[in-house]
């Protein structure tokens, strides 16, 4: 058969070209350093603040239901990947050491402009 034709003689339709909204974004790994953020433009002109690096966290104490902004000392453990903890990268589910004690990150810092955590019982 001729090149680019079906067995019946019909043409193969070309796939649609790659659209901007279907291209995945760059994964942003939030480091434990001085505060640095970036504002991205979303669909429809919406603005999204993403975090690149930080040294502060909003920690909620489950007993008193109070939230405090404290400094992060170190990343202790990351359940999804142990190498991220060694590089001090902050992701959801990571256990961090703060001034108040150990806390677990509950949000996705690469998608939002801050880090929220819950104080762990010791």
Here the CATH number for the domain that contains residue 92 is 3.10.290.70
Q: Is the pTM of this model over 0.85?
A: no
Report how many domains make up the chain.
1
Q: What is the mean pLDDT of residues 91-118?
A: 94
Please check whether residue 92 lies inside any domain of the structure: yes
Percent of the chain clearing pLDDT 90 (strictly above): 62
Instruction: Locate the DSSP E strands across 1-122.
Output: 30-32, 36-41, 47-54, 56-61, 66-77, 89-90, 95-98, 102-105, 116-119
The pLDDT assigned to 58 comes to: 96
Q: Mean pLDDT for the chain?
A: 90
* Domain housing 106: 24-119
Please check whether residue 34 lies inside any domain of the structure: yes
Please check whether residue 103 lies inside any domain of the structure: yes
Q: What is the mean pLDDT of residues 26-37?
A: 91
Please check whether residue 62 lies inside any domain of the structure: yes
The pLDDT assigned to 20 comes to: 80
């Amino acid at each position: 058969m001729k090149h680019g034709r079906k067995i019946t003689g019909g043409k193969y339709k070309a796939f649609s070209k790659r659209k901007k909204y279907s291209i995945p974004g760059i994964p942003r790994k939030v480091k434990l350093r001085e505060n640095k953020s970036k504002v991205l433009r979303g669909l429809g002109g919406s603005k999204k603040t993403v975090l690149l690096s930080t040294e502060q966290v909003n920690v909620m104490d489950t007993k008193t239901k109070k939230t405090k902004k404290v400094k992060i000392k170190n990343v202790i453990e990351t359940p999804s990947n142990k190498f991220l903890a060694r590089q001090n990268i902050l992701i959801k589910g990571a256990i961090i050491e703060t001034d108040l004690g150990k806390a677990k990150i509950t949000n996705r810092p690469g998608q939002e402009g801050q880090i929220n955590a819950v104080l762990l019982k010791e």
